[in-house]
């Protein structure tokens, strides 16, 4: 019931591990797959090892809602190749998230990941607290990088969208025009929290990205808006914490989902969520998760209020 074909990737479940959470070592990826995920997305990998920001780099600000500025700390692609190979030897469906400072660097990292066995590449052009965000806020730059990478890569290419823009739809359309095989909506929302006692921003970097429960309705709205215009699949991401959250993303038009922050509760949440979705599909006489995709769009929302 949960199997999907995502731009040619055949997955046993539409639930994918989001980038930045547990996707750094083969052993953590395996735990996520064993719990029932259809694929894992790796931490964003760049050309060289990078330390990331000092602590505090992640804080819980409301129950289930976090803010982080980890600063794209990662081992660098040359060190990470061994991890990709090990994951592939154990047939883990693997989306490798990549970033760089120029289109050529993105390409170099992506090609190394593809050669090592990545099933798909996701480009992070959207991290709110790192320099890569500048691509994802510009439709021209987004079109160019996607087109450039698509000419050279053979595996599917997904584009992770930045929600910190005036019009996410036009950026997504630029990615689609460039040849993207799908978009991931959304990355974290730019945010800032100040400690009233020390009178300074709490995170070492100052601002950070908001994730978890509070952003779920925002992500749903983005997916809903994107579904109206895009032809390529949308991978919904943001604040998923329950099976109802996943169902909502599908009703809004997602073809798959990614979960990040909620893993602070443990990998069992995937098992719970998978059972919940399966039960929902059975209770409502649906044969497949695909059957509920975009159903919320059948409801005609009220455009102009009636006069009394
Ligand atoms: C600690 C942390 C690290 C993250 N690192 C990355 C990253 O390296 N690359 C990326 O594209 N997104 C990264 N993200 C964003 C998540 O993949 C996801 O888009 C966002 O957190 C919203 O989903 P969630 O509410 O389920 O966590 C990170 C998020 C968190 C909380």
Q: What is the pLDDT of residue 128?
A: 65
Pocket test for ligand 1, best of 184, 211, 270 (most atoms within 8 A of CB): 211
Give 173-218 pLDDT, tens digit per residue: 999 999 999 999 999 999 999 999 999 999 999 999 999 999 999 9
Ligand 1: residue whose CA is nearest its atom 30: 20
Which of 16, 21, 70 most suits a substitution to test ligand 1, by most atoms within 8 Å of the C-beta? 21
State what percent of residues in the chain have pLDDT above 70.
98
Instruction: Give residue 45 CA to ligand 1 midpoint distance, Å.
Output: 13
Active site residue 127: yes
pLDDT digits (tens, 9 = 90+) for 58-115: 999 999 999 999 888 999 999 999 999 999 999 999 999 999 999 999 999 999 999 9
Ligand 1 atom closest to Cα of 261? 27
Atom of ligand 1 nearest to the CA of 41: 17
Q: What does pLDDT average to over the chain?
A: 95
- Domains in the chain, ordered, with CATH? 4-52+72-188+211-298 (3.20.20.70)
Q: Name, in order, each residue with C-beta under 8 angstroms of 269's C-beta and a sequence gap of 6 or more.
A: 35, 241, 259, 262, 263
Q: Which atom of ligand 1 approaches the CA of 212 most closely? A: 25
Residues with a CB atom less than 6 Å from ligand 1: 18-21, 43-44, 58, 66, 68, 70, 72, 97, 124, 127, 160, 187-188, 211-212, 215, 237-240, 259-262
- What per-residue confidence (pLDDT) applies to 127? 66
Of the pLDDT bands very low, low, confident and very high (cuts 50, 70, 90), residue 131 is low
> pLDDT digits over 236-281, tens only?
999 999 999 999 999 999 999 999 999 999 999 999 999 999 999 9
Enter the pTM of the model: 0.97
């Amino acid at each position: 019931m949960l199997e999907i074909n995502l731009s040619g990737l055949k997955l046993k479940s539409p639930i994918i591990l989001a980038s930045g959470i547990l996707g750094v070592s083969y052993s953590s990826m395996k735990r996520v797959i064993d719990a029932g995920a259809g694929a894992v997305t790796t931490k964003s990998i760049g050309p060289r090892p990078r330390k990331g920001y000092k602590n505090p780099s992640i804080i819980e600000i409301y129950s289930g809602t976090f803010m982080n500025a980890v600063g794209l700390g990662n081992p660098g692609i040359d060190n990470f190749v061994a991890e990709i190979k090990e994951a592939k030897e154990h047939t883990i469906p693997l989306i490798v998230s990549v970033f760089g400072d120029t289109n050529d660097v993105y390409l170099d990292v992506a090609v190394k990941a593809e050669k090592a066995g990545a099933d798909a590449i996701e480009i992070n052009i959207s991290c709110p607290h790192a320099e890569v965000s500048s691509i994802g806020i510009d439709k021209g730059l987004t079109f160019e990088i996607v087109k450039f990478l698509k000419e050279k890569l053979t595996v599917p290419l997904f584009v992770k969208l930045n929600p910190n823009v005036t019009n996410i739809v036009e950026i997504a359309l630029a990615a689609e025009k460039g040849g993207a095989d799908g978009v991931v909506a959304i990355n974290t929302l730019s945010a800032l929290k100040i400690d009233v006692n020390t009178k300074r921003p709490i995170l070492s970097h100052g601002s950070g990205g908001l994730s978890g429960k509070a952003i779920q309705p925002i992500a749903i709205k983005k997916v809903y808006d994107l579904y109206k215009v895009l032809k390529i699949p949308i991978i919904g991401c943001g604040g998923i914490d329950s099976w109802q959250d996943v169902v909502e993303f599908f009703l809004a038009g997602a073809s798959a989902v990614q979960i990040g922050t909620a893993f602070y509760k443990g990998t069992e949440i995937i098992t719970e969520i998978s059972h919940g979705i399966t039960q929902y599909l059975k209770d409502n006489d649906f044969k497949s998760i695909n059957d509920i995709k975009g159903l919320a769009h059948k409801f005609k929302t009220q455009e102009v209020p009636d006069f009394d």
